[in-house]
Structure 1
Amino acid sequence: MMRSLYSGVSGLSVHQTKMDVIGNNIANVNTIGFKASSVTFSDIFYQTVQSATGPNTNTGAAGRNAMQIGLGSSVAGIKAAITKTGGAQRTDNPFDLMISGDSFFVVNNAGTNYFTKAGSFDVDANGTLCTPTGATVMGWQVDPKDSTKVIQDTVSALQIMKPENLYSAPEGTTKAYVSGNIDNKDTQIIASGRKANITFYDATGNEYTATLNLKQSTATNQYNITLDNIVDKNGKSIFMKGSGTTADPYTATAITSVAIGGVSYAATVNATTGLTLAATGTPSVLEFHSGSGDFVSVGGAGNTGINLTVTATGNSPFTPIAVDFSKMTMYGGSGKSTIEGNTGASDGSGKGRKAGNMTGIGVDNYGKIFGKYDNGDSRLLGQIAVASFANPAGLEAVGDNMFSETQNSGSFDGIGHDVSSDGGKFTPGVVEMSNVDLAAQFTEMITTQRGFQANSRIITTSDSLLEELINLKR
């Protein structure tokens, strides 16, 4: 039989394989994270009709090259363009991420780690970040000793919406400040005083408002600071409960006293007349420079603030609040004073907060996942880790946009690294599309078709030669 028949068959086979690869590339032109593959051919075994000989100086014969007849072609390799980045598609989904760089997301399916460029993620019923096909996204957990950091240890599933992450713990207020301007010609502050309301939270997240009164002392540049009352968010005094009727008389709460600066207020409650706050001590004095009107001190000795302390029986949820008055001034001119109480220090610290419910989740450029809560809190929930390989083209595609490591790709150490460690970053709200170049694929399709046709002609022509051979005998 003629060798060309089998060469033609091998040519058909390799071109069919190449067409299969091209077809798969085009089929996945809109598959996120897909990496196009290309096929390379090689010639195969040769039949040596005559071996090469060297020149013979004795006989004067020249050397001759070997005479070899090739036996067709084979597929040398199918290589995926792993490092070629696909186009970016904006989705505005906070769980969609695109990696800039050669790193891969680490996902786990049935206990085995796989790797993917497809960053379209969801959250399942258990609050775990996962792929659309059900593989869990792996990363690092928050350090239990420092909630602002993660522990870069063996990767594990990111259960970002587990029950304890759905709320933010409350925090008691520890700082406040009073700001504004006092006019020493203000008739109200001379007669009865001006009010400043300070809203604060206890350690369980309950909200209260303390009403302070600033009234001019015997000196026109000095003002006494006293407390009128503290009420809850419903406007009821924290020292008593009830409505004062026979069926619902006033009764005392567990909150027994409060101190502001040098004055302590003890609460007594009458069943019908209600609350009486008995003050003992000397009010703290807010003092200004009589010439410039600038703040001097509160409570003497150059102090800038005084403490507001609520006392309750049992385990008190209240924390002492340092109230700063150094932002106050005493400038004249308008005949009116403008005083405002503010929660937290002027730099925003010590505000405290109520208990918060999760309102959203965001991922930054480094893969850190933050929960956002309706009390203004933002909390680190974990960080997405990535993996890199010495030879990413050596990874083996296993379907579902995932790759597995092989002996020729390099191994994953189980920990991974921060995406920024090799200069990469995440782009939230964007996914990486397929890197298939349709123009190149159609061109390859044309050359593959022509190659297939040419090899088919080898077979038909060889068949014609055989037919002529058979026809020699009629």
Structure 2
Amino acid sequence: MMRSMFSGVSGLKVHQTKMDVIGNNIANVNTVGYKSQRVTFSDVFSQTLQGASSASDDTGRGGLNPMQVGLGVKVSSIDMLMTQGAAQRTDNPFDLMINGSGFIVVGDATGQYFTRAGALRQDDEGNLTIANGMRVQGWPSVYNEKTNKYEISQQEVSSINLADPTIKNSKPSMTTKTQLSGNICNTADAATTTIRFYDSVGNPYTLDMHFKKAEGAQNQWNIELGTTIKDSAGNEIKLAKAPTLAEGTSITFTPNGSLDSDKGHLALKFGDGNNSDNGGATLLETTGSTISDLDIDISGLTQYAVQTDIDPKTLNGNAAGTLTGYSVGSDGIITASYNNGDKRSIAQVVVAEFDNPEGLEKAGENLYTTTTNSGDFDGVGKAGIFNTGVLEMSNVDLSSEFTDMIITQRGFQANSRIISVSDEMLQELTQLK
């Protein structure tokens, strides 16, 4: 009888534990990135009243099974369910939802932590943080002199800061390539367009280019260049030598109106015509800056019987720009945008993956820490796949939780009856005398 009472007590304890877990799951039904838990039970050691015996020809009897009395129940495990939660759209560019496995890496002076809650924000010093102020960690952007671009460097993660002084402004760059496309009317005698380009400090300039039909030739056009360039205010800037075209001053179209394939590019030279002493750049004494020789792509020009419409484009080079905002790509790369149209990669949010994510230990505030059964973080991480402007909701299933609540309640009630009935039996025993 006492064994039954103790079994009932153990049943009450484990069902109370399961109810605690269910209550915590329901309480966190709207917690961003929360992972629900479940409880499993197992029986405890059983007392053997009689061991098993095999059949015997000597006695003529068959084998006997063991006789055991169980001593109750215990909590076998409390597991985290790492299934993906539903998506909640926010349209905040710094809200990130991880697709698949992995955790965003965060940290402070106490160490590194991991979270699925991607509600990121920027503090007053430009640090990318989570709600409790811990800094988000990822890969930095490093300037590559060969490509003249900022590129993500896959190295040990570090705190992401968006207020670096080098981020606030976009550096200017010289124009080296332009393009002319469109049509020159085959019945016209002349056409004019204006090439636009930037110098080494981002000042814009223009150069007029005139097309005149060659005498006695229907498909040949001579090109005349302006002798000066103009700045943004329309002021003329004289050069030491007038601009020249290195490969001739005429272009030819085929009878069907397309450009002769022999000349799809024009090489425009400034200054002395070769600029070999200054890396292809010409010094402007009025501004102290330099301009580069231009490669003009004219392969898109045609000569049809329609209105002249030459479209000049600047293929590279830009003025200095100021920061206008940030965006986060599906690969976690944070890109800064500038008012001159330039874009720059600043950093990349990465994810940490573990051999056994269920083995992580909850640290509160949607954070996890590693344990001996989860596996370690290598300090580098890997590129993740994110939904931007979206948060991962809790994966708590209310229908399952309420069903488990009913089962748990009934189990608790049944075990309480064991205790009350055992008590009544003990009371009958004391009243035998």
Give the one of 327, 351, 354 matched to 1:386: 351
Whether 1:321 aligns to 2:291 is no
Cα separation, 1, equivalents of 2:427 and 2:7: 18
- CA displacement at 1:257 relative to structure 2: 2.9
1:255-266 matched pairs, under 5 angstroms = 257-261=240-244
Change (3 A) 1:101 1:303: closer
Whether 1:342 aligns to 2:294 is no
- CA displacement at 1:104 relative to structure 2: 2.2
Residue deviations 1:272-308 (CA, integer Å, cap 9, x gap):
xxxxxxxxxxx963344697776569xxx96842424
Percentage of matched positions with identical amino acids:
44
Corresponding pairs, count: 416
Change (3 A) 1:466 1:217: same
Whether 1:95 aligns to 2:68 is no
Whether 1:112 aligns to 2:111 is yes
Residue deviations 1:384-415 (CA, integer Å, cap 9, x gap):
22222222211111111122221112222222
- CA displacement at 1:175 relative to structure 2: 2.1
Give the one of 158, 163, 166 matched to 1:156: 158
Paired residue for 1:305?
266
- Bigger Rg over Cα: 1
Paired residue for 1:354?
319
Task: Read off the aligned partner of 2:430 and give its amino acid letter.
Answer: I
Residue deviations 1:28-66 (CA, integer Å, cap 9, x gap):
111111111000111113333344444555455655443
- CA displacement at 1:23 relative to structure 2: 0.3
Cα separation, 1, equivalents of 2:38 and 2:389: 30
Paired residue for 1:447?
407
Paired residue for 2:274?
none
Task: Read off the aligned partner of 1:2 and give its amino acid letter.
Answer: M
Change (3 A) 1:372 1:54: same
Task: Read off the aligned partner of 2:99 and give its amino acid letter.
Answer: S
1:41-120 matched pairs, under 5 angstroms = 41-55=41-55, 57-60=57-60, 63-82=63-82, 84-120=83-119
Q: Is the 8 A contact 2:96 2:389 kept in 1?
A: yes
Paired residue for 1:276?
none
What TM-score comes out, normalization by structure 1 length?
A: 0.78
- CA displacement at 1:11 relative to structure 2: 1.1
Q: Is the 8 A contact 1:260 1:306 kept in 2?
A: no
Paired residue for 1:199?
196
Cα separation, 1, equivalents of 2:160 and 2:64: 70
- CA displacement at 1:21 relative to structure 2: 0.1
SS at match of 1:318: strand
> CA-atom RMSD, angstroms?
3.2
Task: Read off the aligned partner of 2:391 and give its amino acid letter.
Answer: V
Change (3 A) 1:306 1:456: same
Residue deviations 1:157-181 (CA, integer Å, cap 9, x gap):
2224423123221111112244555
Change (3 A) 1:180 1:68: closer
Cα separation, 1, equivalents of 2:302 and 2:76: 84
SS at match of 2:421: helix
Whether 1:286 aligns to 2:259 is no
Task: Read off the aligned partner of 2:157 and give its amino acid letter.
Answer: V
- CA displacement at 1:197 relative to structure 2: 2.0
Cα separation, 1, equivalents of 2:126 and 2:25: 34
SS at match of 1:389: coil
Change (3 A) 1:230 1:23: same
- CA displacement at 1:321 relative to structure 2: 2.4
Cα separation, 1, equivalents of 2:414 and 2:325: 61
Cα separation, 1, equivalents of 2:240 and 2:320: 25
Unaligned runs of 5+ in 2: 271-281
Q: Is the 8 A contact 2:325 2:337 kept in 1?
A: yes
Q: Is the 8 A contact 1:214 1:226 kept in 2?
A: no
Paired residue for 1:211?
208
Whether 1:126 aligns to 2:125 is yes
Paired residue for 1:169?
171
- CA displacement at 1:449 relative to structure 2: 0.6
Whether 1:458 aligns to 2:411 is no
SS at match of 2:426: helix
